[in-house]
Amino acid sequence: MSSTENQQAVRRSDATRAAILAAARERFAADGYERATIRAIARDAKIDPSMVMRYYDSKAGLFAAAVAIDPHLPDLPVEPREAIGRTLVSHFLTLWEEHEELTALMRVGATDPAAADRMQSVLREQLIPLARRVGPEPEQAPMRAALCAAAVLGLALTRYVLRFPASVALGHEEIVDWLGPTVQRYLTAPTP
Amino acid sequence: MSSTENQQAVRRSDATRAAILAAARERFAADGYERATIRAIARDAKIDPSMVMRYYDSKAGLFAAAVAIDPHLPDLPVEPREAIGRTLVSHFLTLWEEHEELTALMRVGATDPAAADRMQSVLREQLIPLARRVGPEPEQAPMRAALCAAAVLGLALTRYVLRFPASVALGHEEIVDWLGPTVQRYLTAPTP
DNA sequence: ACGTGTTGTCAACATGCGTTGGCAAACGTA
DNA sequence: TACGTTTGCCAACGCATGTTGACAACACGT
């Protein structure tokens, strides 16, 4: 222990740990799992590659630490019910622009089953319960949530991963205006 | 030349070439670019890795040959105009289920800029012109096409790449029923 | 000032990769 | 049968990767 009576151990290496994590998030988001090499991440963080192993055990461990994030969907205001579509889209958009690790998770999820599972767990633990609360016929919740995921992740794919110019050019409000009604319908409309 | 007067040279190795290409499509679709090794593809095709180099020059050349595909969107019937959404979704769905190289292209596009460019070229040369023909205000065509791409690729992502169970479970017609109106609105509805 | 644990560097390792060139067998033609 | 060409296999190369262990520099409580 460094201090006299801290509950949480404050290590002198915390700055290094953070630098590694920041560089890792950047590289994983930009290059995906395989092309983001430990050596490159270490170079960005201005430390030796072996430090990565000391603090995160392995490349897989580093990735797990880099993409540990919780979207906190259950905290979303569900009222008024006819605005839930726009609320959800806007929330996701903000989330994505503040956390580049989401792009990393998506890039890697395209190839790595473990990362794909992590994305699915967000669907299972957050989107499906929400769909169950706001939509008709609770047994349709998984399907309705999957449709919403497709709508939102599709935009994230074209905008943040593939970077289609027309998708990048869209403004925050424009996206909410177009996708909001879509998500709203997926969640609350009767079966077509 | 093997035969006496064939215009197209029919080589004895065509079977091998085809086997390599089939194995490559499968591996690229399943594992992405980096994890799909030439050695593994050669093992699947029951030939030596060096044959891949002989017939396709390099791994990049093999990938390019494996994902050479044309969606033929311009041939789509554009009438009646109010059915274009369902027509487009149904066409894409069939296309995707018949050509696993589309999944390969998507998996790789998540990491490789060249593959992402190929996907973008489909948007530019096929979807945008279509949007220009059926939608109001031609200068909005790129945006409307990008929204459609997001809707369709989002479904392909959750269904064929990430394999979310609820998305995989959807039937062809169910998808058309849900996504059809979305795409229809993206293409033809007035600006919200 | 000393000794202990932490933080960081360095060099090396084993492995798997894409890729290459040489050589043997099979084939088609004369 | 003899020849050149095509098809295939084999062994090896150079290289980049994740990972390891030994060792130096530093901080800090005594």
Do the chains contact at B111 and A109, CB–CB below 8 Å?
no
Q: What is the predicted pLDDT for the residue at B9?
A: 66
Q: Per-residue pLDDT averaged across A138-150, rounded?
A: 98
Residue A165, pLDDT above cutoff 50: yes
Neighbours of A95 (CB within 10 A): 15
**pLDDT tens digits, A12-42:** 789 999 999 999 999 999 999 999 999 999 9
Tokens encoding B181:
């109106």
Start-to-end Cα distance in chain B: 63
Q: What is the DSSP string of A15-45?
A: HHHHHHHHHHHHHHHHHHHHHS-HHHHHHHH
pLDDT value of position A8: 53
B139-183 pLDDT, tens digit each:
999 999 999 999 999 999 999 999 999 999 999 999 999 999 999
**CA angle at B106 for the pair A117 and B176, rounded to the nearest 5°:** 85
Mutate to test the interface with A, among B103, B111, B128 (most CBs of A within 10 A): B111
The yes-or-no verdict on residue A161 having pLDDT over 70 is yes
Instruction: Report the alpha-carbon distance of residue B39 to residue B48 in Å, rounded.
Output: 8
Which nucleotide lies nearest residue A15, CA to C1'?
C7
Query: How big is chain A, counted in residues?
Result: 192
pLDDT band at B12 (very low <50, low <70, confident <90, very high): confident
Q: What's the pLDDT tens digit per position in A5-14?
A: 333 567 878 9
CATH superfamily of B14-66: Homeodomain-like (1.10.10.60)
* Chain B interface includes A171 (CB < 8 A): no
How much is the pTM? 0.94
CB atoms within 10 A of CB B108: 27
* pLDDT tens digits along B123-141: 999 999 999 999 999 999 9
pLDDT number for residue A9: 64
**pLDDT above 80 (res A58):** yes
pLDDT band at A109; cut points 50, 70, 90? very high
Task: Select from A110, A161, A178 the Cβ nearest to the Cβ of B186.
Answer: A178
Give residue A113's pLDDT. 95
CATH class of the region A73-188: mainly alpha
In the block, which residue shows the tokens 């795409």? B183
Q: CA B19, CA B25: separation in Å to the nearest integer?
A: 10
Structure tokens at B61: 């050349």
Q: Where are the domains of chain B?
A: 14-66, 73-188
Q: Rounded CA gap, B58 and B50, in Å? A: 10
Q: How far is A32 from chain B (nearest CA, A)?
A: 6
pLDDT tens for each residue of B34-76: 999 999 999 999 999 999 999 999 999 999 999 999 888 888 8
Q: In this structure, are residues B174 and B93 in contact, taking their beta carbons and an 8 Å threshold?
A: no
Q: How far is CA B163 from CA A32, A81, A120, B90, in A?
A: 19, 29, 9, 19
